[in-house]
Amino acid sequence: MNNIRSHKILFFYTFIILLGIMFNLLSFFWFDTFHPNGLKIDANSFQNGEQTLSYRLLDHSDQQRMAFAAHVSKQALSFTDGNYAVIFFQLNGQAYSVYFNGVYLGTVGDMENGNSNIWNSVDYFYFDKNLVQNDNVLSIQIFSLYDRGFSFMPAYVVPSADVSAHFCLAKFYTESSIFLAIGFCIFTGIIVFKLFLSSMPKNHAFCYFALAILLLGGYLFDYTKSTSLPMDYLTYKKLMFGCLYAAMSFASLGMYRFFHRKSHLVLSAITIAGYLPIALFVNDIIVFKACYDYYNLIIIANLLNWIITTVKYFKINDEAKMFFLGNVCLLICAAIDVYMTVTGRLFSLTTPFTYAFIFSMTSVILFFSEFANKDTQLKLVNDAHHESYMASITDGMTGLYNHRYLLDVLCQTSPPYSAAMLDIDNFKSINDTYGHRFGDAVIQHVAQSLTSGVRSTDMVFRYGGDEFFIIFPECSAFNAREVIGKIQTKIKENKLFIDGNPVPVTLSCGICDVSDACDTANVFDHVDGPLYQSKNSGRDKITIFHATD
């Protein structure tokens, strides 16, 4: 049962990881097929005589402020009779201003100090059709600290009536998807942490995973648009990457607490300790960019170490399979990201969503998997306790409740009820004639007849030897007599045979009404006397106790 549940959890985890990857692939497909009705202006069309707006990393010889212009003919803008809007997708830089034929259209970011984070945004600017001339110039003044240019999408001039639909969809795959990922990290981080606090015994691995998820959510703010930062841009970037490396460090601590391998502890310390000198002593944004591009290799080192560990435990438990699957997906994304950034390119804008989704869901599903395993273990312990308890209150031969439990039940049973004591007639003679083995079969036969013949609310006990006791809650002695009479008839009809010969089995019975609270000993006295009257008057009888008896 536990294996079936674990496999179901593993299957569900695989399914949701595939959903996350599908979202990433859909974003690729959408951007690859995004061709709005309008004019496409690629990065190479924006020039300043020396450079274009193709993406590039800057060095110290590059100017921070530059202007670029793209020439557009009137004929190229003939796709509409109305007004226009120009849409920019992921224009890297700290800020930029847009002009059409020298007319100012707007600014995104902090053009004065560059204290803004706008690279992953989608922005648009309207301009009037009356501005259009035979030869038109769309120009951009851009302020860049360490990189410049379009990520991979060109600019588009579209009819102003169409801009809302294009903008909303593009914004969803850029900024909105990141806010979704941040919300996902905060939600799952809090959930995992609260579940960790409420669990017993506590697995501190999930405390570290919760902190890692929350810190990853903090790092994802580097992908959000902020036109005015409360600090300088270098400090902001240091804070963002501090969150990333701290998340990796806590994740490795979680792996250490989960699998108890010292390599995770070592890498956890190296990850955060190696970043501290960069954060404290690098005061140039270009140098800092180069440092974190290469230092991101520590992320791959952590992921590789996690994968090596999970491979060793792959055949032992399904949790290792979940770690392995999630970490392989993360490693592929991280490796491509590191390669792209080191070679001066950009990768998918939704890769952070994939990171957040996979890492968060891995932690959540692992927690619930462990919770399910502990629940199964607790159930097994409870079952074992229940079996032990049932063994202490039941008779091993017949499965009926035993004499000790009868005393407890009588003390707790509230009147009115009826009680009956039954005895197998001539049982000693049966034992002596046919042997104890057959005698045991007779006792079992009678016990089965009693349990199948009474009501569902009645309780049957083996009092001892060949004697039985029945409690009839809320039942008069006369009604109890009818029930026992039917059982006597059934036993006589279902004869037992030995060597092909029938062996007669009959029961004698004594019954009493208990209408008021009385001592247990009195109950036994009130059924024991009538039982002996039944046996002395010829057996196979039922006698009811009367107060005058």
359 pLDDT band (50/70/90 cuts)?
low
**Cβ proximity of 360 and 213 under 8 Å:** yes
Q: Using the 8-state DSSP alphabet, how is residue 315 labeled?
A: T
User: What is the spatial distance between Cα 195 and Cα 192, in angstroms, rounded to a whole number?
Assistant: 5
**Cβ proximity of 212 and 365 under 8 Å:** no
Burial level of 187, CB count in 10 A (0-12/13-18/19+)? middle
Q: Which residues of 277-313 are buried (b: 16+ CB within 10 A; e: fewer)?
A: ebbeebeebbebbbbbbebbebbeebbebbbebbeeb
CB atoms within 10 A of CB 427: 17
Q: Is the predicted pLDDT of residue 478 greater than 90, yes or no?
A: yes
Q: Report which of 343, 350, 335, 347 is spatially closest to residue 298, judged by C-alpha positions.
A: 335
**Cβ proximity of 138 and 86 under 8 Å:** yes
Fold of 403-544: Alpha-Beta Plaits (3.30.70)
- 13-53 pLDDT, tens digit per residue, is 555 556 655 655 555 555 555 567 889 999 999 999 889 99
* Structure tokens that stand for 516 in this block: 């008021």
Of 149-163, 218-232, 326-340, 508-522, the range with the highest mean pLDDT is 218-232
Task: Please state, in angstroms and as integers, the Cα–Cα distance from residue 208 to each residue in 79, 205, 320, following that order.
Answer: 56, 5, 17
Q: Could you tell me what percent of the chain has a pLDDT over 90?
A: 48
Q: Is the predicted pLDDT of residue 293 greater than 90, yes or no?
A: no
Q: Report which of 127, 353, 384 is spatially closest to residue 223, judged by C-alpha positions.
A: 353
Mean pLDDT of 477-494: 93
Q: Nearest 5°: phi and psi at 285?
A: -65, -35
Amino acid (1-letter code) at residue 130? N
Q: Is the predicted pLDDT of residue 251 greater than 70, yes or no?
A: yes
The sign of the dihedral angle between the CA atoms of 114, 115, 118, 119 is positive
Range list for CATH 3.30.70.270 in the chain: 403-544
Range list for CATH 2.60.120 in the chain: 39-167
User: What is the spatial distance between Cα 271 and Cα 187, in angstroms, rounded to a whole number?
Assistant: 25
Q: Report which of 322, 317, 353, 312 is spatially closest to residue 23, judged by C-alpha positions.
A: 353
Residue listed under structure tokens 């903090």? 218
The radius of gyration of the chain's CA atoms, rounded to the nearest angstrom, is: 41
User: Which residue has better confidence, 419 or 319?
Assistant: 419
Q: In what order do the strands lie in the sheet with 122-127?
A: 39-41, 155-159, 84-89, 122-127
Pure H helices in 343-466: 351-393, 403-412, 427-434, 436-453
Residue-level pLDDT at 218: 92
Mean pLDDT of 468-485: 94
- 497-536 pLDDT, tens digit per residue, is 888 889 999 999 999 999 887 777 889 999 999 999 999 9
Mean pLDDT of 247-266: 88
SS3 (DSSP) at 543: strand
Residue-level pLDDT at 350: 43
Q: Is the predicted pLDDT of residue 243 greater than 90, yes or no?
A: yes
- Of 173-177, 422-426, 468-472, which range is least confident? 173-177
CA angle 316, 319, 324 (to 5 degrees): 95
Q: Nearest 5°: phi and psi at 78?
A: -85, 10
Residue-level pLDDT at 391: 81
- 63-85 pLDDT, tens digit per residue, is 999 999 999 999 999 988 899 99
User: What is the spatial distance between Cα 513 and Cα 530, in angstroms, rounded to a whole number?
Assistant: 12
Q: Is the predicted pLDDT of residue 432 greater than 80, yes or no?
A: yes
How many helices and strands (H and E) does the chain possess?
15, 18
Q: Is the predicted pLDDT of residue 373 greater than 70, yes or no?
A: no
Strands 65-73 and 135-143: antiparallel
Mean pLDDT of 529-546: 92
375 pLDDT band (50/70/90 cuts)?
low
Fold of 39-167: Jelly Rolls (2.60.120)
SS3 (DSSP) at 198: helix
Q: Nearest 5°: phi and psi at 322?
A: -65, -45
Q: Is the predicted pLDDT of residue 113 greater than 70, yes or no?
A: yes
494 Cβ contact partners less than 8 Å away, ≥ 6 residues apart: 445, 449
Residue-level pLDDT at 342: 58
CB atoms within 10 A of CB 344: 11
User: What is the spatial distance between Cα 253 and Cα 53, in angstroms, rounded to a whole number?
Assistant: 43
356 pLDDT band (50/70/90 cuts)?
low
* Structure tokens that stand for 406 in this block: 């009868």
User: What is the spatial distance between Cα 143 and Cα 96, in angstroms, rounded to a whole number?
Assistant: 6
- Count CA atoms within 13 Å of residue 10 on its CB side: 17
Residue-level pLDDT at 23: 58
Q: In what order do the strands lie in the sheet with 147-150?
A: 56-57, 147-150, 91-92
Residue-level pLDDT at 138: 96
Mean pLDDT of 322-348: 64
Give the DSSP H or E segment for 462.
strand 459-464
- Provide the CATH number for the domain formed by 2-32+179-378 in this structure: 1.20.1070
Residue-level pLDDT at 317: 62
User: What is the spatial distance between Cα 338 and Cα 292, in angstroms, rounded to a whole number?
Assistant: 10
Residue-level pLDDT at 4: 39
Q: Is the predicted pLDDT of residue 447 greater than 60, yes or no?
A: yes
- 378-399 pLDDT, tens digit per residue, is 666 666 677 787 888 899 899 9
